[in-house]
Amino acid sequence: MNTVSPKMNPFARLLLTAVKVEPAEVKAVLLAFFCNFVLLASYYILRPLRDTMATVFGPDELQQLFTGTFVITLLCAPAYAAVAAKVRLQRFLPGLFWFWLLNILVFYVLFQVAPQNRWVAASYYWWFSVVNLFLISVFWTFMADTFSERQAPRLFAFIAAGGSTGAIAGPIITTMFVEMIGVAGLLLISAAGFLVVILLIHLIMREREVLRLTQQDVQKTTLDHNLPGNPFRGFGLLFKSPYLLAQAAFILLLTWAATLTYVLQTGLIAKAYTGIESRTVAFADLDLVVNIASAVILIFGLGRAIQRFGITVSLMLTPIAMMAAFCGIAITPTLAMVQFTRGLQRITQYAIARPSREVLFTVIDQQSRYKAKNVIDTVVYRFGDLSAAWMQAGLRAANYGLAGAIGAGLAVCATWAAVAFGMGRSYEAIRKRDTEQLAAVYSSAQ
């Protein structure tokens, strides 16, 4: 039972009462919250720059950017697994962020030298589109390897709220400073954020070990070892597990719906705004709206909803909302409606689908968390982007245009909802089995 002490600071008391955090969990949860805050703030400084670089390269050639992104992701996934097989996790996790920080400094130099170069724009687009998935995947893998399946439904919504509130800060910083310091200057601010993330990861690892040694209801895996196996182990684990394959299908369908709206959004913004800075502000403004709404949902509703209605219901909410959104575009095919639809897709994805889906990885083994999950979060995700972009290009070539995109979106969302239902039921069955096994162990011990 969680007890509120008068000596606790107000924020800790709020956690114990509103979020149902146990006293022993408070420090780890706060560190995770602030790590996600800084990570997503830094991420959302970089994100509008990625979308702006897409407009520099050309909206009619987005499928080429998606193709390059997928190829690079396909190469990086086994490289990631190969490094994880040789480096202990306690060095591997912060080491990834050091590597990405150095990449940011390289692009700072390139943007100073050639800010309007199409291939610099494409390189940044490819780099960020690969790295953004890896850094988010690594953070949530770390969370799933820290908190158990009994903790995650209580805690993950609050930890995700840290990311959403941090993501509010990122677009604000971009909007306020892009005219003053330019695109290159924003990269330095993001790099400073990554330094803070690295420090917080070390602190979380230390607190994780304290919990592992003193508490029962946590993950018992350690970080003092590597993850042996060949570079393609993650692919093998994925294709051997129906549970993981269902999660891959969920991500694939999610990206199809998201990419269909993204392609529409990019083309309309390129026509509506002529300057790079104004396009950046347009993307950043939408980011701000999305993340304010996501933070409100995560702080005040999702955690309780998951505990009351279960994972299955929360997983199905996003595809159902997107079916309604595509119908809205069919009725009003304007930039405002596409922006609204894109915003709704991202709000439900970040505030509902992502934290709900991350809970599912608490019931699998450590190898699958770090390797198969990474393949799903990166390769499968980017394959969804690639196939959706070429699908959109094919629809345009066949003169189906907007109507074709809407029809494809509705079909995708209907299938997505069915997959979400099956995936949630599988998780509930595994969790019930694990709970019964744990109860049997405690009973025999007495």
CA distance 185 to 114: 14
* The pLDDT value given to residue 92: 95
If pLDDT is split at 50, 70 and 90, which confidence band does 140 have? very high
If pLDDT is split at 50, 70 and 90, which confidence band does 69 have? confident
Does the structure show a pLDDT above 60 at 55?
yes
Q: Mean pLDDT throughout 370-374?
A: 92
Does the structure show a pLDDT above 90 at 196?
yes
Instruction: Output phi, psi for 7, to 5 deg.
Output: -80, -10
If pLDDT is split at 50, 70 and 90, which confidence band does 60 have? low
* The pLDDT value given to residue 1: 46
CA distance 149 to 220: 12
* The pLDDT value given to residue 305: 66
CATH tag, 18-216+232-445? 1.20.1250.20
Q: Mean pLDDT throughout 45-71?
A: 73
Does the structure show a pLDDT above 90 at 93?
yes
Per-residue model confidence as pLDDT tens digits over 299-327? 766 666 666 777 888 899 889 988 888 88
182: left (phi over 0), alpha (psi -120 to 50) or beta: left
Per-residue model confidence as pLDDT tens digits over 235-248? 999 999 999 999 99
Where do the domains of the chain lie? 18-216+232-445
Calculate the average pLDDT of the chain: 82
If pLDDT is split at 50, 70 and 90, which confidence band does 375 have? very high
Does the structure show a pLDDT above 50 at 254?
yes
If pLDDT is split at 50, 70 and 90, which confidence band does 103 have? very high
Q: Mean pLDDT throughout 106-118?
A: 81
* The pLDDT value given to residue 35: 96
Q: Mean pLDDT throughout 157-163?
A: 88
Q: Tokens 């499968």 — which residue?
A: 380
Q: Mean pLDDT throughout 392-399?
A: 70
If pLDDT is split at 50, 70 and 90, which confidence band does 270 have? low
Specify the higher pLDDT residue, 62 or 388. 388
**pTM for the structure as a whole:** 0.81
Does the structure show a pLDDT above 50 at 442?
no
Q: Are 226 and 82 in contact (CB under 8 A)?
A: no
If pLDDT is split at 50, 70 and 90, which confidence band does 297 have? confident
